[in-house]
């Protein structure tokens, strides 16, 4: 953060968005907190990813039109996978492409942030008290590796493949909200949240039967149709109505040459 009358680069802080200013939040937003004294204009603040979860649970094929564009049948149960927290970046941080993939896609999604420990949630009980709020996620995916690996961990787990933010909005009307994905200002993806095959409430119940959801954990609920490739120089935006816009540039990989990557790939193919 950078503000008049405050150190130029203080430590990262949680903040409360109040109109066009950000007020420091003292304590832990997941347990006990209170409003602090200091505040900064929003345009003088560098936003980081709004939370560092213990896990990010992704959901595959949760919009019918996206399943169709991938030539996949509709799932009878949610298809879930994990993205590593090390893949998280904040707003405006670059998505770094990888020489291991020739087909890295954007996936605009609305994501749930869990506020309270949630395990074995009974069917009749509402999941709402376990929700802290909602944020935008770009579930960046190496589509070629997703297909060739079968398992999705590598395809969805590269560093920088989980842009998140810009905020956690605690009051979102899911009946009215929409998810959109833009590349270089052109809208590629769009759907109302009500198009989700498995609702937020259903997903929390269902996932809590397999794994305990901890405060701060994130469930990224799946992407609408219109996914497509990202290239170095692109700017990609995830817009969730009622939450905000998550904007990230796309850059070429810096340290690994395509030659090294292809050598590695051929060695992998030989069984090393
Ligand atoms: Zn996804």
Is residue 128 one of the residues assigned to a domain? yes
Q: For 105, list phi and psi in degrees, rounded to 5.
A: -110, 150
**Are both 15 and 86 inside the same structural domain?**
no
**Are both 132 and 173 inside the same structural domain?**
yes
Is residue 49 one of the residues assigned to a domain? no
Q: How many helices (H) and strands (E) does the chain have?
A: 5, 18
Owning domain of residue 31: 2-44
pLDDT of residue 272: 44
Is residue 211 one of the residues assigned to a domain? yes
What's the gap in Å between 143 CA and the centre of ligand 1?
11
Is residue 148 one of the residues assigned to a domain? yes
**Are both 182 and 259 inside the same structural domain?**
yes
pLDDT of residue 257: 59
What's the gap in Å between 268 CA and the centre of ligand 1?
26
Task: Report the relative pairing of strands 95-96 and 244-251 from DSSP bridges.
Answer: parallel
**Are both 120 and 38 inside the same structural domain?**
no
Contacts of 104 (CB under 8 A, 6+ apart): 95, 97, 98, 140, 141, 142, 143, 229, 230
**Are both 101 and 31 inside the same structural domain?**
no
Secondary structure class of 236 (helix, strand, coil)? strand
**What protein residues have CB closer than 5 angstroms to ion ligand 1?**
107, 139, 223
**Are both 221 and 260 inside the same structural domain?**
yes
CATH of the domain at 92: 3.90.850.10
What's the gap in Å between 260 CA and the centre of ligand 1?
29
Identify the bridge partners of residue 106 per DSSP, sorted by sequence position. 228
What's the gap in Å between 220 CA and the centre of ligand 1?
7
Is residue 183 one of the residues assigned to a domain? yes
Mean pLDDT value of segment 50-69: 95
**Are both 169 and 35 inside the same structural domain?**
no
Is residue 51 one of the residues assigned to a domain? no
| pLDDT, tens digit, 9 for 90 and up, residues 14-45 | 999 999 999 999 999 999 999 999 999 999 99
What's the gap in Å between 66 CA and the centre of ligand 1?
10
Please name the residue that has the structure tokens 């990010």.
Answer: 56
pLDDT of residue 11: 82
Cα 60 to Cα 76: distance, rounded to the nearest angstrom = 12
What's the gap in Å between 227 CA and the centre of ligand 1?
10
What's the gap in Å between 251 CA and the centre of ligand 1?
20
**Are both 69 and 139 inside the same structural domain?**
yes
Token output for 23: 């007020």
**Are both 88 and 203 inside the same structural domain?**
yes
**Are both 13 and 130 inside the same structural domain?**
no
Secondary structure class of 37 (helix, strand, coil)? strand
| pLDDT, tens digit, 9 for 90 and up, residues 221-261 | 999 999 999 999 999 999 999 999 999 999 999 865 556 66
pLDDT of residue 269: 53
**Are both 99 and 33 inside the same structural domain?**
no
What's the gap in Å between 106 CA and the centre of ligand 1?
9
Cα 94 to Cα 232: distance, rounded to the nearest angstrom = 10
Number of domains in the chain: 2
pLDDT of residue 4: 44
What's the gap in Å between 45 CA and the centre of ligand 1?
29
Residue 41 sits at the vertex; the CA angle it makes with 35 and 42, to the nearest 5 degrees, is 90
**Are both 63 and 9 inside the same structural domain?**
no
pLDDT of residue 254: 80
Is residue 107 within 8 Å of residue 138, measured between CB atoms? yes
Residue in 118, 95, 116, 115 with CA at minimum distance from that of residue 50: 115
């Amino acid at each position: 953060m950078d503000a008049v009358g405050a150190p130029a680069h203080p430590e990262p802080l949680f903040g409360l968005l109040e109109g066009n200013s950000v007020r420091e939040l003292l304590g832990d937003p997941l347990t006990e907190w209170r409003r602090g004294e200091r505040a900064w204009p929003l345009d003088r603040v560098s936003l980081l990813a709004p939370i560092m979860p213990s896990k990010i649970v992704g959901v595959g094929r949760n919009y019918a039109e996206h399943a169709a564009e991938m030539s996949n049948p509709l799932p009878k149960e949610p298809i879930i996978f994990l993205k590593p927290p090390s893949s998280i970046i904040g707003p405006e941080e670059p998505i770094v492409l990888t020489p291991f993939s020739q087909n890295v896609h954007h996936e605009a999604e609305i994501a749930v942030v869990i506020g309270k420990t949630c395990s074995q949630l009974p069917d009749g009980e509402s999941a709402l008290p376990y929700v802290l709020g909602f944020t935008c996620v770009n579930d960046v995916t190496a589509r070629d590796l997703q297909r060739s690996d079968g398992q999705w961990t590598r395809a969805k787990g590269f560093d920088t493949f989980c842009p998140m933010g810009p905020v956690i909005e605690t009051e979102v009307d899911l009946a009215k909200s929409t998810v959109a994905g833009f590349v270089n200002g052109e809208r590629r993806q769009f759907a109302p949240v009500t198009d989700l095959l498995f609702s937020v409430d259903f997903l929390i119940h269902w996932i809590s039967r397999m794994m305990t959801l901890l405060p701060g954990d994130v469930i990224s609920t799946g992407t609408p149709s219109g996914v497509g490739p990202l290239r170095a120089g692109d700017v990609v935006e995830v817009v969730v109505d009622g939450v905000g816009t998550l904007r990230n540039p796309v850059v070429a990989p810096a340290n690994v040459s395509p030659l090294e990557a292809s050598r590695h790939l051929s060695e992998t193919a030989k069984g090393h």
